[in-house]
């Protein structure tokens, strides 16, 4: 029973490039959450998705960031035209029902 999987674990991008972060939830989990942890800061909610639907994106920056959770395949967090301020650890969590969340190992994004 594999846990939440995220890949890549480490991602390096130059300013202006695109970053794609993937999250495969635990088996049987249809709720996915993305969180960001900036250096020396706490975790912040970004977006909550269920299969094919964005439920709550109140924590997502208005520009350059998007998320999807298709019917088949992992959830994707996409950051277009990355800037140095996007450097952070991005964590995905999944749940079967609302409330009980299991976290993935995170993707550490470095923007040069």
Asked whether position 74 contacts other proteins by CB under 8 A, the answer is no
> Cβ of 63: how many Cβ atoms within 10 Å?
8
Q: Which of 28, 39, 42, 85 is the binder for other proteins (CB under 8 A)? A: 42
Of 22, 27, 33, 37, residue with least CA distance to 90:
37
Asked whether position 48 contacts other proteins by CB under 8 A, the answer is yes
**Listed ranges 13-21, 41-49, 65-73, 76-84: which one lies at the site for other proteins (CB under 8 A):** 41-49
Total residues interacting with other proteins, rule: CB under 8 A: 23
Q: Which of 28, 39, 85, 99 is the binder for other proteins (CB under 8 A)? A: 99
User: Shortest Cβ distance from residue 81 to other proteins (Å)?
Assistant: 26
Asked whether position 101 contacts other proteins by CB under 8 A, the answer is yes
The angle at the Cα of 76, spanning 103 to 52, to the nearest 5 degrees, equals 100
Q: Which residue has the tokens 């920056």?
A: 61
Query: What are the φ and ψ backbone dihedral angles of 84, each rounded to 5 degrees?
Result: -60, -35
């Amino acid at each position: 029973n594999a846990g939440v999987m995220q890949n890549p674990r480490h991602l390096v991008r130059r300013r202006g490039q695109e970053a794609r972060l993937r999250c495969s939830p635990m088996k049987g989990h249809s709720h996915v959450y993305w969180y960001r942890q900036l250096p020396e800061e706490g975790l912040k909610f970004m977006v909550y998705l269920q299969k094919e639907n964005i439920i709550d994106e109140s924590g997502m920056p208005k520009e350059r960031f998007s998320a999807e959770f298709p019917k088949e395949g992992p959830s994707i967090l996409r950051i277009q035209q990355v800037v140095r301020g996007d450097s952070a650890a991005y964590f995905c969590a999944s749940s079967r029902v609302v409330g009980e969340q299991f976290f993935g190992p995170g993707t550490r994004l470095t923007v040069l």
